[in-house]
Amino acid sequence: MSAIPEKRLIPDRLGTSATRLFGSWEALLFAVAVLIFIANSLASPYFLNAWNLSDATFNFTEKAMVAFAMALLIISGEIDLSVAAIIALASTAMGAAAQAGIGTPGLVAIGIGVGVGCGVVNGILVAGLRLPSIVVTIGTMSLFRGIAYIVLGDKAYGGYPASFAYFGQGYVFWVFSFEFVLFAVLAILFAVLLHATNFGRRVHAIGNNEFAARFSGIRVERIKFTLFLLTGLMSGIAAVCLTSRLGSTRPSIAQGWELEIVTMVVLGGVSILGGAGTIGGVVIAAFVMGLVTFGLGLLNVPGIVMSIFIGLLLIVTITLPVIIRQFRHRKPA
């Protein structure tokens, strides 16, 4: 578990007064997204343009792919802070392979393979050796990105084959990019996996009460291992998209993304303590973050100032329901 493993006895936000007040977290978040959308279109005349909006999706599609898998992991009570480092390592491996003249299918296979391999390493350490995931993945984060630095140093890989550019720059039809379509397909797949399969129920059960889950015959370690593998896989896919979009690899690629991805998941209403959350929430959170950064970008706000907004968004959305709950609890007393 994370650094705050105080197990709750009752599931989080299943019919608390605050969630009843807003209908649901997702409804609140959706309202926020609509507000930001309206504010953006009022603030900048360039916002309401199909191609601009299509460009805006690149702000979040790659992060969101990883965020889906991360959501499952956080619901199960674990966390993976090494995702951005996995992207960097997978991208470096693809860069090295491209230098060696390997074609596009091979590059994709290598990128995804490295991602899965890194996920397996995390899975063995956390599920196999039963180590706390937050520290382990801080370690593997340094290790994976460190290997990328050893390979690349201060240099960069480029020279990817022309056909490789499709994954990050291609369009399936009209303004819908390959990345956006992939994002949509993965969102549906993960929503089905989490909300309509035994596996998803088990993930929720482990997050709510690992002890009880074990007594119910759930193979906790196996599921956790699968989740880490899945997170590695998604990081590998994100690495393919990102590398293809940028067309080059530096060891500092995707630096700091782990924080943005966790922010996206938590903003989407997934409880950081585990046991509660939906993929729908994460999808809306991805749009909210994408719209905020894109809208601010159109207004010429520097990236680091945007990160203040993301940080505030994270803290405000987490604290607001807590404050409301405390307020409502105090009133009768």
Partner 1 sequence: MIRQLFKFREMLLVIIIAILLAVFSARSPGFAAPGNLANIFNDTSILIILALGQMTVILTKSIDLSVAANVAFTGMAVGMLNAAHPELPLVLIVIVALCIGAVLGAINGIFVWKLNIPSIVVTLGTLTIYRGMAFVLSGGAWVNAHQMTAPFLQTPRQLFLGLPILGWTAIVIVAVMYLVMSRTFLGRAIYASGGNPTAAVYAGIDVGRTRFFAFVISGTLAGLCGYLWVSRYAVAYVDIAAGFELDTVAACVIGGISTLGGIGSVAGAVLGALFLGVIKNALPVINISPFAQMAISGSVIIAAVIFNARQERRRGRIILRDRGASEQIEVAA
Q: Is 17 in the site for partner 1 (CB under 8 A)?
A: no
Q: Is 333 in the site for partner 1 (CB under 8 A)?
A: no
- Of the listed pieces 15-23, 64-72, 175-183, 320-328, which binds partner 1 according to CB under 8 A? 320-328
Q: Is 169 in the site for partner 1 (CB under 8 A)?
A: no
* Relative orientation angle of helices 83-99 and 61-75, to the nearest 10 degrees: 130
At 172 the three-state DSSP class reads strand
To partner 1, the closest distance from the beta carbon of 191 in angstroms equals: 24
Q: Pick one of 33, 108, 262, 264: the residue that binds partner 1 (CB under 8 A).
A: 262
Which of 326, 102, 117, 122 has the alpha carbon at shortest distance from 224? Answer: 122
Q: Is 212 exposed, middle or buried (0-12, 13-18, 19+ CB in 10 A)?
A: exposed
Count of residues of this chain found to bind partner 1 when the rule CB under 8 A is applied: 56
To partner 1, the closest distance from the beta carbon of 185 in angstroms equals: 29
Place of tokens 């590695």: 232
DSSP assignment string, 276-299: ---HHHHHHHHHHHHHHHHHHHHT
Which residues in the 108-167 window bind partner 1 by CB under 8 A?
125, 129-132, 134-136, 138-147, 149-150, 152-154
**Identity of the residue, 87 or 152, whose beta carbon is nearer to partner 1 in the bound complex:** 152
What Å distances lie between residue 78 and 73, 123, 133, 211, 233, CA to CA?
A: 5, 11, 6, 15, 17
Q: Is 6 in the site for partner 1 (CB under 8 A)?
A: yes
Which residues in the 69-98 window bind partner 1 by CB under 8 A?
79
Q: Pick one of 34, 48, 196, 322: the residue that binds partner 1 (CB under 8 A).
A: 322
Residue type at 173?
Answer: F
Q: Pick one of 34, 50, 185, 323: the residue that binds partner 1 (CB under 8 A).
A: 323
Produce one character per residue of 166-205: b if its CB has 16 or more CB atoms within 10 Å, e if not: ebbbeeeeeeebbbbebbeebbeebbebbeeeeebebbbb
Rounded to an integer, what is the distance from CA 271 to the centroid of its chain? 14
**Site residues, partner 1 (CB under 8 A):** 2-7, 79, 125, 129-132, 134-136, 138-147, 149-150, 152-154, 210-211, 214-215, 251, 259, 262-263, 266, 272-273, 302, 304-305, 307-308, 310-312, 314-315, 318-319, 322-323, 326
